[in-house]
Structures are given as structure tokens and as C-alpha cells.
Amino acid sequence: MQQEEQRGGSSSLPSVIGVLAKEAEYPAVMEFFELFKTPWEFYRNGAQYDVLICTGDRYPENSAKLVLVFGAATKAFDRQKGCGVGDELTNPVLVHSTGRIPIRGRCSTVVGLGTVVVTEETSRQPAALEQAINGQRYVRFGFDIFQEIRYLLTHGQPVWYAAVPVIENHIALLRNLIVQSAIVLVEIPPFPLGYSFIACLTHDVDHPRIRNHRCDSTMFGFLYRATVGSLLDFVRERKSAADLATNWAAAVALPLVHLGLVKDFWRQFDHYLSIEKGLGSTFFIVPERANPGVGHEGRQTTRRGVRYCVEELAEDLRRLVTAGCEVGVHGIDAWRDSTAGRLELKRISGPAGNEKLGVRMHWLFSNDQTHARLEEAGFAYDSTVGYNEAIGYRAGTSQVFKPLSARSMLELPMNIMDTALFYPQKMNLSPELAWRAVMLIVANAVRYGGVLTVNWHDRSLAPERLWGRFYLRLLDELKCRDPWFCTASQAVAWFRTRRSVVFDDATRQGLTVRLSCLLYSDRANLPGLRVRVYNSLNGHSRSGSLNQGEVGFTDHALEPGNNVQINSDS
């Protein structure tokens, strides 16, 4: 895989797409084309391309059918083609038929003759213009796509754009421009053969037993929320009369739970095993009791420390693993210190019976060196990139990706978290408003593929939260959408397999595409890959846009060393 990335796709391949970018953008370019998995290479002098993407100042003469020029500053291209950039836009959101694209870097209007392709959402000014000259199609954009990708994968997007899958919208825009230019596009979509997307159910284990909390803030918070808070929620129609009765009964029974006379209602492992019924969820376990770790700016917050130790969960963890679930590390200091990370990994790997564990940081702590530290500590993957206060796409994508600071470690981004939906300090949504927000994320999963990663905390089925009905409704809805349910490590392994595909040879004669691919990773027990060929259909799809599931492409199973021959008009 490392070889593939250094080559920029496959140097021997007569690529459809040639990329002429600034050297500083190379890591972002390579990662972008792991997400948009299609034949490409860095520009070579004298090579012929169907599509040429330029982000630097240089613009070589070429015969490409489609030329895409990006950048907020004036370029040599502008002088040659009679176009240019105008006013710089402030915090723009660009709109196209494929979706919204918030821009974090510089972005200018584009002026000159041509057809408007992309506009700014508020001002309606053009941010991309198209010209057709002598059989070539030129599109001039007022922003740099690879600077945007680098920013998203490094810093993430602000919470007010959380619901926008920005990278998927960038990919969809390029895909449409290519196909509408009567160019046959070959792609390996980000979802397994036979499924519409991947669903990954995860659970952060913060409070596995209420018996562990005696006269602390967690216990008193529970009592308030179970009594007064539940009454207020009932009045606001956020909880039913049955929920109110359940929470009051739990508050009354709390002394009996501490005496061992009544079952601990926060112990929910068996409940999850029952309702998920073999869907392969992942449980992230905190490695050390009462250790709050060091937070941002070197501060410690006592309430970050948990009141359980991994040894007391040993039997529960064995039962989870036997049932096909996975155990991961809910890290404390691993995000900032690889030595601490190695110790945290060792603490959980024994009870989990597995030395190759993934991690999600407690409270989602991270910085620009976190992935390098986690990789150095030996974690198999990370699943920290997400929002505490919202649901959506912190990195702009739901695909598993390689952070730019990592050598090979992959990130499984988190999309939906229960506390973000319902906590008063977060989105504070009613069940029905929360459902609408979640269904937008589900719809994007069906449209774009990728992984829908859900985090439902260990105690969220129990009093006082009682978010179990919502979770059951979500599970039923997901099952109807035909995803592949899997553990976090399986989702990462499938994307690692997709990343290992090398387009070894591709030729096109008329309407026939011959494609040879080599898969280097082990695909045991994982669903297969497909190769998708988008048909030009005289430059347009039959339904006007090329979304997943619509006419305009053909799919073929892809096997290691498989030679695929496709009639692109079929």
C-alpha cells in the first residue's frame, strides 16, 4: 500500500486523470484519490489524459477533454483563456446540483465568458465558470480543492457545517463533470459488494454499574435527572408517562441496588447483545479507574475519571467477544503520549484476548499529533474523529481515511452519538427532531456509501436516559436499508482492502473498457469489492444526475487479479 501511495496511483497506467498540483499538496492529493478510488496519476510531461486537474501556476498545453483549474489567485491559464478571478468571498458556501460545499480556505468569484457551474450560496456569485473551446471543456474554480481536502482531514470542519458531507460533495461534483464530458469513468465505490453501505455500532463504556457511584456527582446527577428532570421532560412531551414511572422507580430502588438486593440497572451488556442479535458491535473500555488524564492545556478534570476497572468487567468482555463483538480502548492519555498509549493498550488487550485493538479517546480528545502518537503506541485504528456537540461529518466524510500525520493508521470517523442528540448542553433535540437529523445522515449513507458509525453509550438504554426505544427504531431502520453490519476493525479492514487495489492496467477501445486490478491485502471473511463504470450517455445520465442507484453506470464484481471487460454503453 505504501508503494501505491508513493507512485500516486500507478505510474504504468494510462490514467484517465492527470493531476498537476503543488508539491505541498501531494499527501492530500493521494488521500483524496483513495476516497475517490479511480485511475489517476501525477502529471507527466508528454502524457495524454482525458481529465487534467491543475492547482498550481503551471498550465501545460494538452489535449484533455476536460480541464479543471483550481485556485483563488490569477493564473497563466486565465490569461490564455480570457477568464480570471474577481472579489474574494468571505466564509463562502458553494452550491451545485450535487450538494453544498463550505470553503475554509481562500475563495474568489470567477469572471469572464462562460457558463456558471458553481455559485456562492448567499451572494449567488459565480465560483466556477465553464468554457468549451475546440472540443475541450475548461472549468475554472475560484478555490483550491486539495487545500480544502487537507484542511478537512487535518482540522475538520466547524460544527455549524457538521451535517454536510463536504468531501463526498467534492467527489460528486468531479464525478458529474467527468461523466457529463462524455468520458468513461471507472471507480471502486466505498461500499461492499451486495450492500448499500456499512453500519458500525459502537458503545463507549463510561458507567457500566451505578453501584460504583456512591454520593458522587454522577449519582446525584442521576437522582435529579430521574426525578425532577424526568418530570420536566414529561411536561415538555419528551418522555412518556411510562418513562416517568420507570425513572422514579429506579430512583426509589437505588439504595437497594447499592445493598445488592436489586439488579444494577446500568449493567446493560446483555441487553445490547439481545437487541443487536449478532450485528457485531464494538465496545470501547476505559483502561484505568479514577484516572482523569491530562486534558487540553494541561488541565485535569476529575469527573473525566471513571469509577470502574477493567478487571471487574472481565466476564462481560469474554461474553461479548464470544458473541462476535469487539473490544477496543477508550483511551485517556494516549491522544498526547504514545508511552501512555502503549500502557492503555496493554491493559485492555489481555481481557479482550487480542493485542491488535482500536481506540477511541474518552471525551474525543485529540490534537494535530494524536494519530502519530496512537500509531506509535500500536493501536490498529482510531475512531475519535467526531463531534461531542453535534452529529455529522467532522472530517467531511464518512469513509475510513488515513490522517495526513499517520504513516498507515486509518481513522473510522464517528457520525452519530446519543449524548450529542439529546443532552441539554448539546443539540438538545426531542425524539422526533433527533429522528429527522439522524435520517439525513442515513440518507447520505445510502447515497454515498461509506460507514455510518453510531456511538450509543453503555448506560443509554437504562434509567434515567431511556434512549433504548430510539436506538431500536434506528436499528430497525438501518436493517431496512441493507447495510453490512460489522465491528469497527472489520470496517477498517474492508477499507484497507479497497485502498490496496492497484489499477494495474486499463485500456479503452471505442465503447469497451478493459480493466485489470490487483488486490494485495487479505480479504478473508470480508465482503467483496465492485468496480463501477459510469457511462457517458451522451454526457448526461438518463435521470439528470448521477446519484447512487440511478441509471448511468454498470457494476461488476472485482476479484484479485480480475480482468474486467465492460461495454460502456451497456
pLDDT above 70 for 547: no
Q: Which of 374, 361, 364, 209 is nearest to 287 (CA)?
A: 361
pLDDT above 80 for 178: yes
Q: Are 166 and 152 in contact (CB under 8 A)?
A: yes
Local confidence band at 560 (pLDDT 50, 70, 90 cut-offs): low
In this prediction, residues 534-559 reach a mean pLDDT of: 56
Q: Please state which of the ranges 7-16, 325-334, 442-451 shows the lowest mean pLDDT.
A: 7-16
Query: What pLDDT is attached to residue 177?
Result: 94
pLDDT digits (tens, 9 = 90+) for 19-67: 999 999 999 999 999 999 998 999 999 888 999 999 988 889 889 999 9
Grid cell for residue 322: 464470544
Whole-number percent of the chain with pLDDT over 70: 89
pLDDT digits (tens, 9 = 90+) for 131-165: 998 889 999 999 999 999 999 999 999 999 999 99
- The rounded distance, in Å, linking the Cα atoms of 341 and 339 is 5
Query: What pLDDT is attached to residue 129?
Result: 96
Q: Supply angle C-alpha 7, 172, 88, rounded to 5.
A: 90
Grid cell for residue 179: 461523466
Grid cell for residue 243: 418513562
Q: Which domains, from first to last, does the chain contain?
A: 2-183 (3.40.50.880), 198-209+266-494 (3.20.20.370), 216-265 (no CATH), 501-567 (no CATH)
pLDDT digits (tens, 9 = 90+) for 258-317: 999 999 999 999 999 999 998 999 999 999 999 999 988 788 888 999 999 999 999 999
What's the full length of the chain, in residues? 570
Q: Which of 55, 42, 86, 65 is nearest to 149 (CA)?
A: 55
* Phi, psi (rounded to 5 degrees) for 507: -135, 155
Q: Please state which of the ranges 79-93, 207-221, 428-442 shows the lowest mean pLDDT.
A: 79-93
Q: Are 227 and 248 in contact (CB under 8 A)?
A: yes
pLDDT above 80 for 207: yes
Q: Are strands 66-69 and 51-54 parallel, antiparallel or unpaired?
A: parallel
First to last CA, the chain: 33
- More confidently predicted of 4 and 183: 183
Local confidence band at 182 (pLDDT 50, 70, 90 cut-offs): confident
